[in-house]
Each structure stands twice: as C-alpha cells, then as structure tokens.
Amino acid sequence: MTNDEAMKWEGIQILCEARKFAYNLLRNTFIQEPSREFIDLLERDEVILSFPFAEDNQEIGAGVDQVNKYLERYTSLAADARGEELERLRWDYTRMFVGPYQLPAPPWESAYLNDERLLFQEETLAVRRIYLRYGFIPRNYHQEADDHLGMELEFMFRLSEMVAGKVAVRDTAGAEAILKDQEVFMADHLLKWVPRFAGDVMHSSSTDFYQGMASLLKGFIYLDRQAIAEILQAIA
C-alpha cells in the first residue's frame, strides 16, 4: 500500500469514527431524560467540545457553543442548586417529549408525517421493517414506538459501527452496502421529519441545553448525508 493510499484509508476511518461519536451522543441525548451521570460526563470529559464538524457547519457550531455554556453554568452551581437545575432540565425533557400535556415536540416520525399526528402508523411499521433486516431490536422495544427519534438515531449508530468495522478490514463491498442503506434511511425517514422536530425543540425548550442539542441534531443530519456520499465516493 502506498503512502497516499494509507492516508486515504486513515481519513476514511477518522470520518467513520466521527460519525459513530456523533450518533452515540445524539441517541443518548434524546432516548431518555438526562441523568446526573450523563450531564457530568458531558462537562467533565469535554464531550460537547469534541463534537465533529463544528467548524464546518454553522448550526453544529452554534449548538456546541450553546450547550457548552449551559454546562459551564451548571458546573459553577453549588451542589443543591445543581440538583435543582437537573430537575429543571428533566422537566424540560418530559414536557417536550413525554407528557402529560400536549407535546410541543413529539419525538416520533409518525407524529410529523401522519396528517392526524397518530402513533404506530405506517411510518412506524416501515421503520420496523428496516430494523428487522439488520436484526436490530431497539431499547424499550415493547414500550416505545419504533420510530422514536432515539431509536432511529441508535439504529444509525449501530450501522455506523458496522461501517467502521468494515472499513477497518478494507471490506469495501460490505461498507458500501451498509452506507447505501443508511443513505436510504436518511432520505426516507430522518430528513423528512427531524429538521421540523429540531425546530420545534429550539422554539419550545426552556433550557439552552436542549435548544443547543436540537441545533446540533439538525446540523449533523444534513451534514451526515454529505459524509455518507463522501465515504461512498472514496471507497468506490
């Protein structure tokens, strides 16, 4: 292998790892209410500042800044005040995504693509069929609709892990097949509703944390479509 080829594959691997990192953070942000351990991890390990593509996308960069400033304020609080702030953050999550009142940002694809905003519709079943092709069983499978944002992001994370593994052993055919499935899933599902969802979160959230995370999500979804195309071109 020439030096140029080695550098090319190293660049592809770095991009694959960046995609895994981003989907891992985003799935854990939207799949459940925030725990103290999750928030502490984000601040302690400067995870947000490591989010990829912040310099390449304005929405990602703005989201990184907003979440980082929130975390700085959070960690500057006394222990009691930090506990109160965590409860406020949890209520922000519950109010927007769980209930009991009308949700300003329902985290299900079917709520955005179905005219009556009903759950467990054809959109849900379409997502389930794609999951089953990969033997993917989402967390909370029997308790949550398959087209929940957290589950769709987790599916993309799992497939991104698979792509990275294929790239690591230079299995270009295997990587290409998975990437093309991700490309289709992005076009047929995520891109059809996540930008609207992210806009609703940015409009309705009462915390900089979720406003910033929604900006990160929206920016990354658009940028990852380009990343997938770049990897496919590079391994062709």
Closest to 92 in 3D by CA, of 151, 34, 23? 34
Closest to 48 in 3D by CA, of 81, 75, 11? 75
Instruction: Give the Cβ contact number of residue 161 at 10 Å.
Output: 17
* Cβ 25 vs Cβ 51: under 8 Å: yes
Crossing angle for the helix pair 149-168 and 172-185, to the nearest 10 degrees: 160
pLDDT for the residue numbered 236 = 85
Q: With residue 58 as reference, give the H or E element that holds it.
A: helix 58-76
3-state secondary structure of 20: helix
Average pLDDT for residues 195-212, to the nearest whole number? Answer: 98
For 83, the domain range is 3-235
Regarding pTM above 0.85, the answer is yes
- Count of domains in the chain? 1
Q: What is the CATH number of the domain that holds 84?
A: 1.10.3480.10
pLDDT in tens, 152-177: 999 999 999 999 999 999 999 999 99
The rounded distance, in Å, linking the Cα atoms of 148 and 138 is: 10
3-state secondary structure of 108: strand
User: Is the predicted pLDDT of residue 142 greater than 80, yes or no?
Assistant: no
pLDDT in tens, 71-96: 999 999 999 999 999 999 999 999 99
* Cβ 123 vs Cβ 113: under 8 Å: yes
